[in-house]
Structure 1
Amino acid sequence: MTGTGGMVRTQPRTPAPPTPGGAVQTLAGPPATTGTGTGRAVHTQPRTPAPPTPGGGVVRTEFRTRSAEEAGRFLGDAYGLSLRLRAAADGPEYSLLRTDAGAFAGGAVSLPARMEFTTHEVTALTFVTMSAGLFERSAPGVDERFTAGDVLLVRPGGRPCFARHTETRCTTVNLSAALLTEAAATADPRHPGLPRFLRSIPSDAPLAGLWTRTQDFVAETLASGLTSNLVLGQAGRLLAATALTVFPNTATAGGPSPDGTRDASPGTLRRAIAFIDANAHTDISLADIAAAVYVTPRALQYAFRGHADTTPLTYLRRVRLAHAHADLKAADPGAGATVAAIATRWGFAHQGRFAAAYRRMYGTSPGATLRG
C-alpha cells in the first residue's frame, strides 16, 4: 500500500452504552483463480470515509482472499486510495484485519506476494509500521524503501506515485481530523486547526520506537475486549499526541508556547475542579476542561501545578478512581459484578495498573473491596 487511510465500516455504528468487546464481521473474497494479473490494469476509487462517531463500541472487520484483483479493490476502499493495480499474483492469501474505534482505527495487513500499483489520490492519513517484507515507493524526487521495523506516514494529497510490496506484513493506524486538531490545540494554542505533517518518517529512531510501543499498547487494549467510551477516548488522544511528538508537523514546529501564567489563578483551578467533578463519567479531555473554564490548556496545567501540585488529568484519574471505589463497595459479586467491568466503566483499561493505583489510594485490592 502506498497510502493507508479511510475506514471501511462493516455495519452502521451508533453510539451505545459501553459494553465489553465489539462486533466482528468476516468478509471473504472470491475463490482462488489462476494467473498473475500482470498486464491487466485494475482501477479503484476510494470511498469517502464517513465522519467519525464518538463513543460507541468497537467494530472489527476481517477480509481474506486469494484473488489479487479483489485484494487490490478492497485495499483501495479500506485505505482511501485511488490505485491502478499493475502486477500481482493470485494464490497466496491476502488479508486485512481492521479494528474501528470511531475516531481512530487500527489494522493488520498481509500481502504475501508481490504487488505493484500506482496511486493517483490518497484521501486519508495513515501511520504504517512494517513487520516484514519490503515496501518501495517512488515519485518525482522521491525514492524510498522500507523494511521490517520501519515506521512511515502516508499523507493525503501529494503527487501520484508508484508502489511495490514484496511479501509485506504491516500494521496501520488511522486518526481522525478531530483527534489531531484537539491534540494540536493542546500542544500549542498558537496553531489552531488541523496540523500538517512535514515529513513521512519520524524525527529520529527512538521516536519511531515510541510510536511502535504506543500503537502496541492501544492494540492490546482493544484486543482485551474490555472497552468503554472513556477507554476509547483516552486511547485515541494518546495516539494523536504521540503522532505529533514522533512526526514533524506544523503544531510543534514553532517551539514551546507562552507560559499562560496570567490565567493560572486559584479561580481557574476551582472552576476546573467543579467541571471535572461533574463530568468525570463522560469522555472529557484536557482541551474540554480548558474550554469549559475559558483558558488555554497550558494555563490550566499551570493552575493545577501552581495551586494543587498535580495535573488536570491526574486529578481526573483520582476522581474516576474514587467513583470506581464507590461502585465496588456498592456492587454485588453474586449478581455478576466484576472488577474488570467496573474498572473499564471508569476508563481504566489495564487491570494491573488499576489494581496498583487502587491499592496505593485505598490500601487494599479492588477484589477485596468487591467481596466486602
Structure 2
Amino acid sequence: MTGTGGTVRTQPRTPAPPTPGAVHTLAGPSATTGTGGAPHTQPRTPAPPTPGGGVVRTEFRTRSAEEAGRFLGDAYGLSLRLRAAADGPEYSLLRTDAGAFAGGAVSLPAHMEFTTHEVTALTVVTMSAGLFERSAAGVDERFTAGDVLLVRPGGRPCFARHTETRCTTVNLSAALLTEAAATADPRHPGLPRFLRSIPSDARLTGLWTRTQDFVAETLASGLTSDLVLGQAGRLLAATALTVFPNTATAGGPSPDGTRDASPGTLRRAIAFIDANAHTDISLADIAAAVYVTPRALQYAFRGQAETTPLTYLRRVRLAHAHADLEAADPGAGATVAAIATRWGFAHQGRFAAAYRRMYGTSPGATLRG
C-alpha cells in the first residue's frame, strides 16, 4: 500500500514477543518518519504482551482522516462508518498496552463524524479538550473538557461527532471486569453490564481521573512487572465499577459471609499467600483457593488477624523484598528499584516509606549493607 508519505509497511498480525517497555512508532499514509526509516502501520490485531514482557507502547500519526478512523476503530473495538472528515491536521494515538488493560492519548484536531454499529470493548474516555457529541436511541449527549464517559460493549448504533477533541482512554478486558464483579458481590457472577455511560455521581469523576493518572504514572516509570501490572489492572476495574452504575453493584450489600470466616479459613489463606506471593494473585484468587467468597475471606482476616488479605499480601511481599535487598550485591548491578518492582511496588517513594515503617531504615541502606 502506498500513500503521499511513501511506502507503508504493515507489520505481521502476530509480531514477535515485545521487549520490556518497547515503543513501536507507527505512521499513516501521510505521516513523516525519522531518519533512516519508512512509515508503517500497526497490525490490525496486535499480540498482547507475553508474561513478564512489560508493556507495549505504540504511537500512530496520520493526516488522513479516513486512515485515522480505521485505525481508531481497530484500536477500540469499534465498527465505524465515516460520514465526513477533512484531511490536513495530524491525528494521533499514543497507546500503552498492558495486556488486560490499555491506556491511550488521542488527538482528533479537526472535525470527524461517524456512525458506530458495534462496540466490542469497554472504554473509559476522559475529555481534556474539544467537543464530543453522541446520539443514540433518541438520547443526545455532549461531552467537553473534564467529562468522563463510557463507550460500552454492545449497545445500539449511534452517531458521533468529534470537534478538535483531545482525550485519554482506558480499555478494560472482560476478564478484569468479571474478576472485579465477583470480588464486589459474589451474587452477581460473570461479566457486569454497565447501566449508564456517565458516573453515578459527579463527584466520582475525580476518583476515576486520579486512579487513571496513578496507573499512567506507574506505566510511564518503565519499572513494571507482572505483579505491578496485575495490581494496576484490578485497581482500574474496581474503580470503574465504583464510578459507573452496573449490575454487579446495583443490588446493595451482599451477605456477610461470617459463617465461612473461620480460623481454618484464615490458616489456609495465609498458607496460600505465603506460597504464592511471587505470583500475580488477587483477592478472588485467594478466596477461590480456600473455597470461600471474597467477603468471607475479608471477614476472616479482619476478625482474627485485624488486617485485610491484601494488606497481609503486601507485608509478605515487603518481607521478600527485604530479604532480596539483604542478599543483593549493588556492585553487580542490583538496585532498589528493580527489587521493589519485582515484588509489586511500582512507586519508589511509597515503597521506601512502607519499608522504613517496617524495618526502621531505608531500602538503600539495607542494599549497601
> Taking structure 1 as the reference length, what is the TM-score of the superposition?
0.90
Instruction: Provide the residue aligned with 1:49 in structure 2.
Output: 46
Q: Which moved more, 1:78-87 or 1:270-279?
A: 78-87
Distance 1:32 1:80 in 2: 24
Deviations 1:158-215 (A, max 9, x none): 2211111000000000111111011000000010000000000001111111001000
Maintained 8 Å contact 1:7/1:78: no
Instruction: Provide the residue aligned with 2:135 in structure 1.
Output: 138
Maintained 8 Å contact 1:3/1:154: no
Maintained 8 Å contact 2:178/2:192: yes
SS in 2 for 1:356: helix
Q: Structure 1 pair 308/8, CA: closer, same or farther in 2 (3 Å)?
A: farther
Post-superposition offset of 1:133: 0.2
Q: Structure 1 pair 119/39, CA: closer, same or farther in 2 (3 Å)?
A: farther
Structure 1 unaligned spans of 5+: none
Q: Structure 1 pair 233/99, CA: closer, same or farther in 2 (3 Å)?
A: same
SS in 2 for 1:334: helix
Alignment coverage as a number of residue pairs: 369
Q: Structure 1 pair 143/53, CA: closer, same or farther in 2 (3 Å)?
A: farther
Post-superposition offset of 1:139: 2.1
Maintained 8 Å contact 1:116/1:162: yes
Maintained 8 Å contact 1:41/1:84: no
Post-superposition offset of 1:107: 0.5
Maintained 8 Å contact 2:186/2:293: yes
Deviations 1:327-352 (A, max 9, x none): 00000001110000000000000100
Q: Structure 1 pair 161/33, CA: closer, same or farther in 2 (3 Å)?
A: farther
Q: How does 1:30-179 map to 2 (within 5 A)?
A: 30-31=29-30, 56-179=53-176
Structure 2 unaligned spans of 5+: none
Distance 1:225 1:39 in 2: 26
Q: Structure 1 pair 38/7, CA: closer, same or farther in 2 (3 Å)?
A: closer
Distance 1:121 1:67 in 2: 23
Post-superposition offset of 1:10: 10
Deviations 1:24-56 (A, max 9, x none): 10111112799xx99999999996787886653
Distance 1:8 1:314 in 2: 50
Maintained 8 Å contact 1:196/1:250: yes
Post-superposition offset of 1:60: 0.7
Maintained 8 Å contact 1:3/1:79: no
Distance 2:6 2:316 in 1: 36
Distance 1:304 1:295 in 2: 13
Higher relative contact order (CA 8 A, sep 6+): 1
Deviations 1:126-154 (A, max 9, x none): 10000000000112321000000000001
Post-superposition offset of 1:7: 25
Distance 2:366 2:8 in 1: 43
Post-superposition offset of 1:118: 1.1
Paired-residue identity, %: 96
Deviations 1:309-331 (A, max 9, x none): 00000000000000000000000
Instruction: Provide the residue aligned with 1:289 in structure 2.
Output: 286
Maintained 8 Å contact 1:5/1:79: no
Instruction: Provide the residue aligned with 2:367 in structure 1.
Output: 370
Maintained 8 Å contact 2:82/2:114: yes
Maintained 8 Å contact 1:58/1:102: yes
Instruction: Provide the residue aligned with 1:13 in structure 2.
Output: 13
Distance 2:17 2:80 in 1: 38
Maintained 8 Å contact 1:48/1:123: no
Deviations 1:234-284 (A, max 9, x none): 000000000000000000000010100001011110000000000000000
SS in 2 for 1:136: strand
Maintained 8 Å contact 1:8/1:78: no
Post-superposition offset of 1:111: 0.3
Maintained 8 Å contact 2:117/2:157: yes
Q: Structure 1 pair 76/31, CA: closer, same or farther in 2 (3 Å)?
A: same
